[in-house]
Chains A and B, each alone.
Chain A
Amino acid sequence: MSSSKQSVLVFFTSQVWTNNQVLIAILGICSALAVTNRLSVAITMGISVSFVTAFSSFFVSLLRKYTPDNVRMITQLAIISVFVIVIDQFLRAFFFDISKVLSVFVGLIITNCIVMGRTEGMAKNVAPIPAFLDGLGAGTGYAIVLIIIGFFRELFGFGQLFGYQVIPLEWYASAENPEGYENFVLMVSPPAAFFLIGGLIYVFRKLQKTA
C-alpha cells in the first residue's frame, strides 16, 4: 500500500522538481514573464494555473476512453476553458483588483502550454488520480518559479513585497541625500524577466547536476 502510494506521489514531485515545466521543459513562459512584477499577482497566477492544470488533467483523464482521437485537441481545449472561466469569474467576484491587473492573462491560461502539455502528454494516458497529481505538481512547479521571479522583481523594482515597503524609505536618494538608494527600474520592465529566467535556468541546471 505504502509503496503504491509513494509511486503515485512521484507524479507530483517529479513535476515540481526534476521536470519543472518552466525551467526544464521551457513551457508556460508567456505568463511567467508578463505577470511577475508584483508578488501578489504572481501568486494568484500560480494558484490559478495549478487549479486549472490539476482539474483539467483530472477530467481529460476521466474522459480518455470516450474521446475520439481526432477531436481530442478541441475536447481538451473545451475542458480547459471551462475551468479558466470558473477561475476568471471567481477572481472577478472576490479579487477584483488583482483580476484587473491580470486582465487578459487569466484568459490566456487556456493557451498556457503547461496545461495543454500535461493533458496531452500525461493525462490522456493515465488514471484520473495520478493525472490530477501530475497536473497539480506541474502547476506548483510553475507557481514556485513565478514566486521566485516575482520576489526579485518586486523587491528590486519597487522596494516592496506584497505592496509593503521593505527597503526603508530613508535609504532612498533625495534632495538632501543624493547618493542614496534608487529603485532598479529595469526590474519592473519586461526584459528583466527574460534575464531572471535565463539566470534561473543556469542556477537550476547547476543545482540538478550536483543533486
Chain B
Amino acid sequence: MWMGDFNHFNLLGLVLQSVFIENFLLVNFLGMCTYLACSTKLKTANGLGIAVVFVLTVSGVLNWLLHRFVTGPGALSWLSFIGVDAERIDLGFLEFLLFISVIAGFTQILEIIIEWASPALYMSLGLYLPLIAVNCAILGACLFAVTRDYPFIPNLIYVLGSALGWWLAIALIAAIREKLAISNIVPGLRGMGITFIMSGLMSMAFMGFTGIKLANPAPPQVATWGEEPAAENEEPILDSRDPSLPTISFLSLSH
C-alpha cells in the first residue's frame, strides 16, 4: 500500500517524469484555460503556480484515500469489521462526483483559512483559488493517478511533481508572454493566436523528453541501492503513459 513495487530510484524517476516528460501543461494539455487567462504577468503566474502546487498535492492525497477506501474495486471491504459485507459494492461511477466535490470543497476551505490566517497572502493568492477548483490539471492528475493505480507514496510524488511541472511551464510561458506583449505581431494573430503558436513551440521543446522511461517499478539493471528487486513480471504501470492515449503517439508512430 505504501510503496508497492517502487523503490527510491523509481521515485526520483517519477519526479523527473511528472515534471518534464509528462509536463501537465505542455504535454498533457491540462489546465489550459487557467493558463491562458493568467499567464500575461510572471507575478500572477507564480501566485497561481504556488496555489496549484498546494491544492493539487493535498487533494491528490485525499482523492487517493477516497479511491482506496470508498470507490475503488473492492474498496469497501473494510466495512466487514462492523459486520457489513460490502466487498462487492462498486461505487466507481460516483468517482467523478466525489473527486470534484473534494477539490471544490478543499479550495473553499483553504480560501476561508487563508483569509482568516493571513490577509496579505489572501490578497495575493486568494483570487486564484476559485479558479483552481475548475482547473482541469487538478482533476486530471487525480484521475491519472487512479487510472495508473499508484501506491500511496508514488501517488504523493506524482501529484506533487505534476503540480511543480505545471508551475514551471506557466512561469516559463508567462516570461515569454511579457516579451510578446511589446512585440510587433501580425494583427490577426495578436493576443491568443501568437500565444498558441508559442505554446506549440514550447511544447515541442518538452517533447524532446518523450520516450525516456525512468519510473518503471522494475529495478534498473545498474542501480544497486534499491531496497529489494521488484517482481520481474510486473506490468509496466508507466509505459511512460497509457499507450492508448492519443497524445503520446509521437514515438510509437515513427516506426
**Chain A residues proximal to chain B, CB less than 8 Å:** 26-31, 33-38, 41, 73-74, 77-78, 81-82, 84-85, 88-89, 100-101, 103-104, 107-108, 110-113, 116, 157, 183, 185, 188-195, 197-199, 201-202, 205-206
- Cβ contact within 8 Å between A201 and B104: no
Q: What are the residues of chain B within 8 A of A195 when measuring CB–CB?
A: 196-197, 200
**Which single member of A33, A81, A113, A189 contacts B249 (CB below 8 Å)?**
A189
- Cβ contact within 8 Å between A101 and B244: yes
- Cβ contact within 8 Å between A38 and B246: yes
- Told that A30-B140, A108-B30, A194-B197 touch, could you supply 9 new A-B pairs with CB distance under 8 A? A26-B33, A33-B32, A88-B96, A101-B246, A111-B100, A111-B134, A191-B203, A198-B193, A202-B193
Q: CA A188 – CA B247 in complex, angstroms?
A: 7
Interface residues on B, range: 35 or more
**Given the interface contacts A74-B104, A110-B139, does A191 sit within 8 Å of B97 by beta carbon?**
no
Q: What are the residues of chain B within 8 A of A82 when measuring CB–CB?
A: 97
- Cβ contact within 8 Å between B192 and A77: no
Q: Interface of chain B, helix or strand or loop or mixed? A: helix
Q: Is B83 interfacial (CB-CB < 8 Å)? A: no
- Cβ contact within 8 Å between B246 and A201: no
**Chain B residues proximal to chain A, CB less than 8 Å:** 26-33, 36, 93-97, 99-101, 104-105, 108, 130, 133-136, 138-140, 143-144, 147, 186, 188-189, 192-197, 199-201, 203-204, 207, 242, 244-247, 249-250, 253-254
Q: Interface of chain A, helix or strand or loop or mixed? A: helix
